[in-house]
Every structure is written in C-alpha cells, then in structure tokens.
C-alpha cells in the first residue's frame, strides 16, 4: 500500500535520550492534490483521543494542505507526550484519501525515585521524585518532589492545560523550602501557594494570571527578616516557535508584571524577546534579550546577581557581596545572549549515544545595577563558551555549558561549568 508521509520524531535510546527527526515533505510538491475523506489517529495507548482531536485543524472534505498538516503535527508534538509524531496519506480506490496522524507515546510516568541532584545555588541534595506527565491520559501533570541536603524542600504540583475547554489552563503549586543564602549570611525559609490561570487566544497569544501567597524569612544569629506577600503575577506571551523545546524558527515575546503586595511593597517588570533563525549547515541562530526593572522597596535580601546558567555564563557563583565584585549585583539589569545551535548526531551518525544530541556555541553579555539609570558600559560583564544538549524523557533536555567570563576586555583564566534543565531560552 502506498503512503505519503511526513514525520517528526523523538526516538529514545533504551529509556534515556530523545531526539528529533524531520523528514521533508518536498515530495508533496510533485504529487496531485488529495481530497481528504477521513482523518484517523493511530498509535494512542493511554492518551484520550479528544486530546489529539482538539489539536487537529485540517478540514475534512477538502484538498490536502500540507502546511496545515505540518502545523497539526507540531502542535501534537508540543504537547510533550510523544516520542514520534507523523502524518501520512492513505489513498482510497475512489480517488480520495485518508489523512492519518501517527504517534508513539513517550515515557510520561516515573516510579517513585530517589537520586542525588545538583543545583548551582543550593549544591548537592538527595532528591525524591514521582511525576506523571499524562495523568489519566488527559495531558494533566501531577508531581511530588522532595529533597534534603543543600536544601530541605517539598513541592506538590498539578496542572491541566484545558481544564475548562478552549485552551483555558489551570495549575497549582505548593512549596515549603529551606536553604542557605548564596552570598548573604542568612538562612532562608519559604512557604508558597500559587495558582495559575491561562488562556490561549488563537495559536500565538497567551495571557496568564498567577495569584500567590508567599512567606519568606531571612534568618541569622542576629535577627530575622520576615516578609508576607500577595503576588498576583500577570504574564503576556506571544509565541510563534515551531517546536517548543528546541525551536528551529519563530519568535517568542514575554511581558511579565509581578506585584509584591505587603508591608514593604514593590513590583518587578520583566521583558524577554527571543528570535530563532534557521541558518547554514543545519544550524539555528538563537537570539535573546532580557530586561528587568524593580520599582518600590529595594533591599539586599531581594538583590539579583550575574554569573549563573540563566544569565551570564562563564563565572563562578559569588560567595559573598563585596566591593571587588559589586559589578555583579543589582536590582535592574539587561543582558543578551547569542547561541549557534547544531545537531551533531542524526540517523546516520549515532556516535554511540542518541539522536538529537546538539552542540551550542554562546556569547552572553549585560549590565546590572541598583537602578536602570546607573547602568554604564564600564560595568559590562560577559561570557563565551560552548555546551551540549542531551534530550531527556519528561524533563526535555539536560544543558551542560563551559564558559569563560569576560570583563574589562580580559577573559577569566579558568573556565566555569554550568548544569541546568531545558534550554536557556
């Protein structure tokens, strides 16, 4: 039987690494137009059919539009539930065709696990984790996580991306956490309860409001600083990325306002612009600029810093805030990142690991100060380096970077190593 197919897949290497494979649909340019008589979904084991049906926009009783079928495939893949998603045509004797969407479900559930874990700011901990990504086959997420060591933490998380229908999402988050502050001589105790309501308008615009109650205590042998806040965060997002976890093309714009309403009130305005451009030799040029501004109460307990996996790479974490490294701290900042991403292991080159492994070359640079008005070129801080991205079940990808810090036109003599989950942007 003859098929015309287009595949997007993320195969698994015996339960660990995932990858993408995209087979071009150029063949369709040389085939006659097919009238779609029926649409079929094939390969579901746990996932409910309606979870996929609501992502399919290709019309019935119409000629095949490969661009719509590709967008349907991308939307299904972006659910994060499948290793492989494809579509194909099954010609019928009457001259019409069946449009089939085929998928292979990925690992979406872990047994209760105990394992060592590392975070840049907290150090090593023993972690316990139980996560179900496709709870009840309805694309719901349920997670319980705890740790002790570098931090004492318990977290419970629930989410449903379509709880009220029509792309209206709801998630809830409860966390109790205690750890030593990275550069202040204080122990931090945090209790947070957060709910988030989101709504997609079309396929590109999402609005989310996330009210939360937060209690934070900063303690040392001298005193305790206590803060109680109500934080109704408001988030606007414009997103045209093709594939969420490893985009090849598209734009993502995020505007976030976080009011911290309490005895010492302030609010934070965050802006982020990311652009993804297909380039030569199967590479992607990824660009990002992030800006933060704080208004109102400012205190060292709320201060930010540069030199970690999520802003300027290539620097060791600061052990304390002193005059010699004052350029690394502040409340307002702007930084940009340029990454060149390249897939290095494909079908024809397994390399003993897994498909979908990619390498990255990066440059980070930015400024941070107590207020935006004080930003100046003399406090520029940068970093250059390279890294590797290893696809992982459930967690999307492991990010490993090595970089050299840059300041006053000089590079740091020793590199710094950074570990994180998911892409930087």
Enumerate residues 6+ apart whose C-beta is below 8 A from 165: none
**What is the distance between the alpha carbons of residues 274 and 28, in angstroms, rounded to a whole number?**
32
Q: What pLDDT score does 3 carry?
A: 53
The residue behind tokens 């997609």 is 200
How confident is residue 31, by pLDDT bands cut at 50, 70 and 90? Answer: very low
pLDDT at 33 over 80: no
Average pLDDT over residues 3-7: 56
pLDDT at 208 over 80: yes
Q: What pLDDT score does 202 carry?
A: 86
pLDDT at 28 over 70: no
Higher pLDDT, 386 or 351: 386
Higher pLDDT, 220 or 80: 220
How confident is residue 91, by pLDDT bands cut at 50, 70 and 90? Answer: very high
How confident is residue 343, by pLDDT bands cut at 50, 70 and 90? Answer: confident
Q: Which CATH architecture has domain 4-105?
A: Roll (3.10)
| pLDDT tens, position by position, 390-406 | 887 777 788 999 999 99
Q: What pLDDT score does 347 carry?
A: 47
Q: What pLDDT score does 193 carry?
A: 98
Average pLDDT over residues 359-381: 92
pLDDT at 117 over 60: yes
Query: Among positive and negative, which fits the CA dihedral 311, 315, 317, 321?
Result: negative
Spatial CA neighbour of 276 closest among 305, 234, 244: 244
| pLDDT tens, position by position, 283-338 | 999 999 999 999 999 988 899 999 999 999 999 999 887 756 788 999 999 999 99
Is residue 375 within 8 A of residue 369, CB to CB? The reply is yes
Q: What pLDDT score does 232 carry?
A: 97
Least confident of 41-55, 78-92, 198-212: 78-92
pTM of the model: 0.83
Enumerate residues 6+ apart whose C-beta is below 8 A from 372: 293, 332, 334
Q: What pLDDT score does 355 carry?
A: 53
Least confident of 97-111, 186-200, 411-425: 97-111
What residue spans define the domains of the chain?
4-105, 235-421
Six-digit token string for 57: 């926009």
Least confident of 12-21, 40-49, 140-149: 12-21
Right CATH number for 235-421 from 3.30.70.380, 3.20.20.100, 2.40.160.50, 3.10.105.10? Answer: 2.40.160.50
**What is the distance between the alpha carbons of residues 328 and 393, in angstroms, rounded to a whole number?**
35
Q: What pLDDT score does 5 carry?
A: 55
- H helix or E strand, kind and range, residue 257: strand 250-260
pLDDT at 412 over 80: yes
Task: Determine whether 20 is exposed, middle or buried from the number of CB atoms within 10 Å of its CB (0-12, 13-18, 19+).
Answer: buried
What percent of the chain lies above the pLDDT cut of 90?
64
Is residue 416 within 8 A of residue 405, CB to CB? The reply is yes
pLDDT at 366 over 90: yes
| pLDDT tens, position by position, 98-113 | 999 999 888 777 788 8
pLDDT at 349 over 50: no
Six-digit token string for 152: 């004492």
How confident is residue 44, by pLDDT bands cut at 50, 70 and 90? Answer: very high
Is residue 6 within 8 A of residue 73, CB to CB? The reply is yes
Phi, psi of 376 (to 5 degrees): -150, 160
pLDDT at 154 over 50: yes
| pLDDT tens, position by position, 52-72 | 999 999 999 999 999 999 999
Q: What pLDDT score does 323 carry?
A: 59
Task: Show the CA angle centred on residue 185, arms to residues 182 and 188, nearest 5°.
Answer: 65
Least confident of 19-28, 236-245, 298-307: 19-28
How confident is residue 246, by pLDDT bands cut at 50, 70 and 90? Answer: confident
Average pLDDT over residues 170-187: 94
Whole-number average pLDDT of the chain: 87
Is residue 271 within 8 A of residue 291, CB to CB? The reply is yes
Task: Determine whether 247 is exposed, middle or buried from the number of CB atoms within 10 Å of its CB (0-12, 13-18, 19+).
Answer: buried
Q: What pLDDT score does 34 carry?
A: 83
**What is the distance between the alpha carbons of residues 53 and 41, in angstroms, rounded to a whole number?**
8
């Amino acid at each position: 039987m003859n098929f015309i197919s287009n595949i997007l897949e993320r195969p698994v290497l015996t339960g660990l690494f995932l990858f993408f494979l995209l087979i071009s649909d150029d063949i369709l340019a040389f085939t006659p137009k097919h009238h779609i008589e029926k649409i079929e979904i094939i390969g579901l084991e746990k996932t409910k059919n309606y979870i996929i049906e609501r992502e399919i926009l290709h019309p019935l009783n119409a000629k095949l539009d490969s661009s719509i079928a590709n967008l349907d495939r991308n939307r299904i893949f972006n659910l994060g539930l499948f290793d492989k998603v494809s579509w194909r045509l099954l010609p019928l004797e009457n001259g019409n065709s069946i449009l089939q969407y085929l998928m292979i479900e990925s690992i979406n559930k872990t047994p209760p696990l105990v394992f060592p874990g590392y975070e840049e700011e907290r150090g090593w901990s023993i972690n316990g984790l139980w996560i179900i990504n496709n709870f009840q086959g309805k694309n719901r997420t349920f997670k319980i996580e705890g740790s002790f060591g570098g931090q004492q933490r318990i977290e419970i998380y629930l989410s449903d991306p379509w709880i009220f229908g029509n792309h209206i999402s709801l998630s809830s988050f409860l966390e109790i956490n205690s750890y030593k502050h990275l550069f202040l001589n204080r122990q931090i105790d945090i209790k947070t309860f957060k709910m988030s309501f989101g709504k997609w308008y079309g396929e590109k615009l999402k609005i989310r409001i996330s009210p939360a109650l937060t209690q934070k205590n900063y303690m040392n042998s001298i005193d305790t600083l206590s803060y109680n806040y109500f934080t109704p965060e408001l988030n606007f997002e414009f997103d045209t990325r093709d594939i969420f976890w490893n985009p090849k093309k598209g734009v993502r714009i995020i505007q976030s306002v976080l009011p911290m309403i309490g005895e010492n009130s302030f609010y934070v305005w965050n802006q982020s612009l990311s652009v993804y451009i297909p380039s030569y030799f199967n590479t992607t040029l990824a660009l990002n600029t992030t800006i933060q501004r704080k208004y109102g109460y400012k205190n060292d307990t709320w201060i930010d810093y540069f030199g970690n996996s999520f802003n300027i790479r290539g620097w060791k974490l600061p052990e304390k805030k002193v005059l010699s490294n004052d350029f690394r701290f502040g409340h307002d900042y702007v930084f940009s990142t340029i990454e060149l991403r390249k897939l290095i292991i494909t079908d024809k080159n397994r390399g003993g690991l897994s498909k979908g492994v990619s390498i990255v070359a990066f440059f980070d640079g930015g400024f941070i100060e107590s207020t935006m008005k004080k930003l100046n070129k003399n406090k520029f801080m940068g970093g250059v380096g390279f890294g590797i991205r290893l696809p992982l079940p459930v967690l999307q990808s492991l990010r490993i970077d090595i970089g050299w810090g840059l300041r006053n036109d000089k590079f740091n003599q020793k590199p710094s190593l950074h570990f994180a989950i998911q892409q930087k942007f």
